[in-house]
Amino acid sequence: MPAIVPKSKAPGADFCGVNTYYYVVRSDLGCYMRSTNFNEGKDLNVFSLHPSCQGGEHYLAHQDDLFYIIKGGAYRRVSNMNMDAEAEVYNLHPNCQGGDHYLSVFGYFYIIFQSKGVYRRVTNMNTDSDAVEYSLHPSCRDGLYYWGIKDYYYFVKPHDEWGIQYYRTTNFHENTDAVTYSFHPDVVNFLPGGLAITQGSAFGTWKAIKTISNDSNTPITWNKITRKVGYAKEKMSSIEHNWSVSISASYQSGALTKAIAKYQFSLTAQYGGKSVNTEQENWSEATDMEESVSLTLQPKEKIYIWQYQLGLGKKSILFCRDMKFNDNPNPPTEVPLPPSNQ
């Protein structure tokens, strides 16, 4: 089964939390999801990420209801990531730079240096105040994402036979009061690589959309082909059904799912993707298009017309422009789309 893309390979993706709310940030999509319970999929709201809050390397939320967006050697502190409210920028103390994950719990800030197996706890990331370092408990070292709320530490566990789960504890050093929860599928859909887990891995295939045979004893001509081109929006519409989406006007209904699907296709097979860039494809709603062709079939000749399609699981959802004509009943083997950068 494919895996969730870890933070180290998903720029702009992160988790954070404060009091009763949990957040999944997708800066790469320009939005974030808020929930009161990842396990039950409760109160799933999606908001736009203000342009000034996009492009962060790390996102965390503190018990003072402030959000911290870390980029390079500085962090931006705001009271609302949707509006960039009360924004202030501070330098990140050198001792607090270079962390793999950042979170806030019990009124402290934590910087996890995962490769070293340690975390640094401070009361202020600008001054490195009250700094203490602890070793991570072996059970807490391999998280894909880390976050915290007022009284608990969390991390996303590596994928195993039980699917996508997250881990809660009251101490990363001693691993006390540990509990494991599964993510609700409606939350998984929003995670980097999540569509492959809920819908099935991406595939790309040449489908024979028409076969033309000349059974006569004289040549015949064929001059029109009708094919479907575009995005099968209705096949993906259920993804957003349990989300309350309040994002910018540039995202029309269904556009968020479309952006997530584009991302999924760009991923490698390890994360359920196809390693292709689909930006130049027609992502408007799929329609039947008639195209003029000029085919002459000799007596007893047969021609196969192939179209490249991308999908998830067993459903084709993107009908590409590329067509191939040949006399071979076996589909072409080349991938007509450019490779992605994932």
Give CA–CA dist 166/64, Å, rounded. Answer: 24
User: Is residue 28 within 8 Å of 10, Cβ to Cβ?
Assistant: yes
Q: What parts of the chain have a pLDDT lower than 70?
A: 249-253
Q: What is the number of residues in the chain?
A: 342
Cα dist from 178 to 128, 153, 154, 168, 172, whole Å: 29, 10, 10, 6, 10
Question: How does pLDDT run across 141-175, given as a tens digit for each residue?
Answer: 999 999 999 899 999 999 888 889 999 999 999 99
Q: Where are the beta strands (DSSP E) in 172-314?
A: 179-182, 202-213, 220-231, 244-246, 287-297, 302-312
Written as six digits, the tokens of 168 are 């809660």
CATH numbers and ranges of domains, the chain: 7-192 (2.110.10.10), 200-326 (no CATH)
User: Is residue 114 within 8 Å of 157, Cβ to Cβ?
Assistant: no
Is residue 139 classed exposed, middle or buried when 0-12, 13-18 and 19+ CB atoms within 10 A define those classes? middle
Q: What pLDDT, on the 0 to 100 scale, is given for residue 69?
A: 98
Give CA–CA dist 265/203, Å, rounded. Answer: 8
Question: How does pLDDT run across 107-141, given as a tens digit for each residue?
Answer: 999 999 999 999 999 999 999 999 999 999 999 99
Q: What pLDDT, on the 0 to 100 scale, is given for residue 252?
A: 64
What is the pTM assigned to this prediction?
0.93
Q: What pLDDT, on the 0 to 100 scale, is given for residue 161?
A: 86
In the sheet where 220-231 sits, what is the strand order?
202-213, 302-312, 315-326, 220-231, 287-297
Is residue 47 within a helix (H) or strand (E), and if so which, with residue range?
A: strand 45-48
